[in-house]
Amino acid sequence: MADKRRLGDRKDGRLLRDLDAMHYIVPVIYPNRCDNEAFISERIDLTNANAFLEKKNAENPEYKYNLFQLTVVAVARILTLRPKMNRFIANKNIYQRNDVSAAFVVKKLFSDDGAEALAFLHFRDDDTLESIHEAIYQRVSSCRGSGKDSDASATDDTMEFLNRIPRFLSKFLLNVLRFLDRHGWIPQSIIASDPYYASAVLTNLGSIKLHSGYHHLTNWGTNSVFVAIGEKKLRPFYDEQGNVTMKDSIDLGLTIDERLADGYYYSKTVRLLRKLLENPELLEQTLTTEVEY
């Protein structure tokens, strides 16, 4: 959690005041998040994850563990252990986010007309796979059972209001919201419910039989990490001698704001993400537990 707010801090982040010259200047000369996206594709061997899930679900048949949940926990872990991944740029300044969070959309019914609802998770340092598994269960059940997740009500209500009023007035109010967003004065209810104010947004494209692919960031909000999870299927893996083995796998597509860190930092972060997903027993530790990788 952040210390007491100082002049220049936002309600959702602490202004970083001791940056090196490059990271101070880059947001000024490259001010838009969507102009500074870096896309990373990573393939994950699921051999250990499949065995781990089989064992966990034999012990917990009521609400099964799945690959999406493992990915959510792994992403929360890298955001915790690699703090530059939990930064954002707003109004040409770099901020350290006050908490670690993730958002994803829940499809209530798998059909063309099936409605969608938002699930928003805020993590604690002592969270583990078990506690996050329970939190996801509660959010998904709420989304599919009550018609609308309470976490998303502020954003949903705002959009519904803007859609009902005259077009010229809604555009004016949207410009006001963009001004508030840029200066960190957006209402806390929106920060706590809009997915683009989360540390990471995840989309499980594999659940609808799609490849991971690329997903853009947005200039609205503060989200700087987007994770697309592709379809689970057999793919070739090569050893050092060029021998090929077909293994169950998923592809991840990560879109990140390249202004926050350098390539070496991102490389180590992706290595940690792969280590966690290919050794899922590590996800039973708390988010703050260090990992050798």
User: Where in the chain are the domains?
Assistant: 16-144+197-284
In CATH, what class is 16-144+197-284? Answer: alpha beta
Contact between residue 284 and residue 265 where contact means Cβ atoms under 8 Å apart: no
For strands 200-204 and 100-107, give the pairing.
parallel
Question: Does 230 score more than 90 pLDDT?
Answer: yes
Provide the whole-model pTM: 0.89
Whether the per-residue pLDDT at 166 is higher than 60: the answer is: yes
| 13 contacts: CB under 8 Å, gap ≥ 6 | 2, 87, 88, 90, 95, 96, 97, 98, 184, 222
pLDDT of residue 1: 47
| Confidence category of residue 146, pLDDT binned at 50, 70, 90 | low
pLDDT for 149 beyond 50: no
Strand-pairing partners, residue 228, are 203, 253
Query: What are the tokens at 212?
Result: 């991971």
pLDDT at 150: 47
What would the pLDDT profile of 22-41 be if each residue is shown by its tens digit?
Answer: 999 999 999 999 999 999 99
